[in-house]
Structure 1
Amino acid sequence: MSEIVVVYELDKPVATGSSPGTPSGEERPVRTVHAAPAAPGAPTPTGPRTLCGRDTFAMETTRWNPSEHPGASWYPVEYASVVCPDCDAVIEA
């Protein structure tokens, strides 16, 4: 499989009071973690769709790079409970 990029599908902003480092006291929790093919030579790091077919336009690209972590999961372990099962199945195939 070619290089993949991990992207987060985020929930709507949630007011958190005063949280350091979070602009305007809002936090956008991760709803689902998806995988998208890298877009070589394109101005954006991901292709237009995730491996499960969702649009990547409104998703946030993560700093997690699976190729930098041989033997680890393709997604950050702290988000294992919200991994897209369809993206995971494509990667496992």
Structure 2
Amino acid sequence: MTEIVVYELDRPTAAPGGGAQRRVRRVHAAPAAPGSRTVAGPRTLCGKDTFAMETTGRRPSEHPGAPWYPTEHASVVCQDCDAVMEV
């Protein structure tokens, strides 16, 4: 199975210079959509809807031995997705 890492983002907040900034709220893993290796399926491994989530482009199967999530977001990893990925 191919998994894709997705970000659950906070609502946009005003950033200096007038732009909008979104902070990563939680990092999830989702199976790839049928027939695709780059698009997340409709639900994360913990059951959340991926519709409003942002795909990171990271595929854990391409990084054997490394954590499945980007290390800069280790503090916000979904524990339910992590438990499934560790199996």
Aligned with residue 75 of structure 1, among 41, 63, 69: 69
5+ residue gaps in structure 2?
Answer: none
Over aligned residues, Cα RMSD in angstroms? 1.4
Deviation string for 1:23-68 (max 9, x for gaps)? x5111100000000011325x7111100000000010000222222
For structure 1, which runs of at least 5 residues remain unmatched after alignment?
A: 19-23
SS of the residue aligned with 2:80? helix
Q: 2:42 aligns with which of 41, 45, 48?
A: 48
Aligned partners of 1:40 and 1:54: how far apart in 2? 17
Question: TM-score, length-normalised on structure 2?
Answer: 0.90
> TM-score, normalised on structure 1?
0.85
Task: Tell me the amino acid that sits aligned with residue 16 of structure 1.
Answer: A
CA deviation after TM superposition for structure 1 residue 16, in Å = 1.2
Moved >6 Å (runs of 4+): none
Please state how far the C-alpha of 1:9 moved relative to its aligned partner. 0.3
Which protein shows a greater Rg? 1
Percent identity at matched positions?
Answer: 69
